[in-house]
Amino acid sequence: MAEGPLVHHYAKRLKQVLQGKEVRIEFRLRNLKALTPAFQEIRIQRVEAHGKQFRIHLPDERVLLIHLMMWGSWGFYRKDEPWDKPIERARVIFHTNSHTAVVFSAPVVKLLTRLELQNDPKWGNLGPDPLRSDFSSKEFFHRLEQDPSREIGEVLLDQQVIAGVGNILRIEILFKSRIHPRRRVGSLSKKDKEELLRWMLKLFERWMKQIGRRSDWIQIYRSSGKPCPHCNHLIEFFRQAGRITYACRYCQH
Ligand SMILES: [Zn+2]
């Protein structure tokens, strides 16, 4: 599942392969296919990750927005190297002189102007991203405190509050911070919020370091019915914001 750290990991590779390069872009999605002839020689201006979004900046203020959701992935191949996934799953293919970058199975691929993206109610106005150099904790707290009645476990999934947190991260951040996911934002003390921020930054960094290796920071995700690593009581699970949430009612208040 592509949460912020994995997106940033892919974006690093994508930058090496595409940024500043002249590419041929092949759109294989039905709604964008007709654009392919117009993308034969395009210089990629910039590649960035913000939260879970890839933003590939093209000339004329256009941005190719890609979101992997649950199933998408990237493949990077040297020219003429065989792919490890079928071409039917390719959504967009970037051909450079030396490499091919392919996005597979991504459900969201949009070509927008920078302004359209900025103003888009669903994809624009993203919250701060802990893995970006422009991350601002002040901005995070400001966005977090907008609606004190919301449950913290739900707010952490709101990309316009904090960009890059997905289901695994929100569960583990709240467990480490000892905050129950059902707590209302308005009930959090200053210390709670500082703990939340501290663990958020830590776990983003830890995931980033452990990509491709065993994730020893995941403690209670998918552990319903198993004992809590701190107190031995059983981990509970419930649905929140449409996702399965795990928590320990004895350790998280
Ligand atoms: Zn516990």
Distance 212 CA to ligand 1 centre (A): 28
Q: Pick from 111, 90, 115, 113: which is nearest to 100 by CA?
A: 90
Distance 1 CA to ligand 1 centre (A): 26
pLDDT value of position 242: 93
Distance 163 CA to ligand 1 centre (A): 28
Distance 173 CA to ligand 1 centre (A): 14
Distance 178 CA to ligand 1 centre (A): 9
Angstrom CA distances, 16 to 46, 94, 100, 164, stand at 11, 13, 12, 22
Distance 168 CA to ligand 1 centre (A): 17
Write the CB contacts of 92 (distance below 8 Å, at least 6 apart in sequence): 25, 26, 27, 28, 29, 32, 64, 66, 102, 103, 106, 109
DSSP H or E segment with residue 204: helix 190-209
Distance 175 CA to ligand 1 centre (A): 9
pLDDT value of position 215: 84
Distance 213 CA to ligand 1 centre (A): 26
Write the CB contacts of 146 (distance below 8 Å, at least 6 apart in sequence): 161
Provide block-wise average pLDDT over 10 residues at a time, the chain (253 residues): 92 97 95 92 97 97 96 94 96 96 96 96 96 98 98 98 97 98 98 98 95 89 94 97 96 97
Distance 229 CA to ligand 1 centre (A): 7
Distance 209 CA to ligand 1 centre (A): 26
Q: Say whether 239 sits in a helix, a strand or coil.
A: strand
Distance 29 CA to ligand 1 centre (A): 47
pLDDT value of position 2: 86
pLDDT value of position 66: 97
Distance 185 CA to ligand 1 centre (A): 21
pLDDT value of position 151: 98
Distance 130 CA to ligand 1 centre (A): 27
| pTM (global) more than 0.85 | yes
Distance 245 CA to ligand 1 centre (A): 15
Question: Angle at the Cα of 70 (from 65 to 76), degrees rounded to 5?
Answer: 60
pLDDT value of position 5: 96
Distance 202 CA to ligand 1 centre (A): 20
pLDDT value of position 212: 83
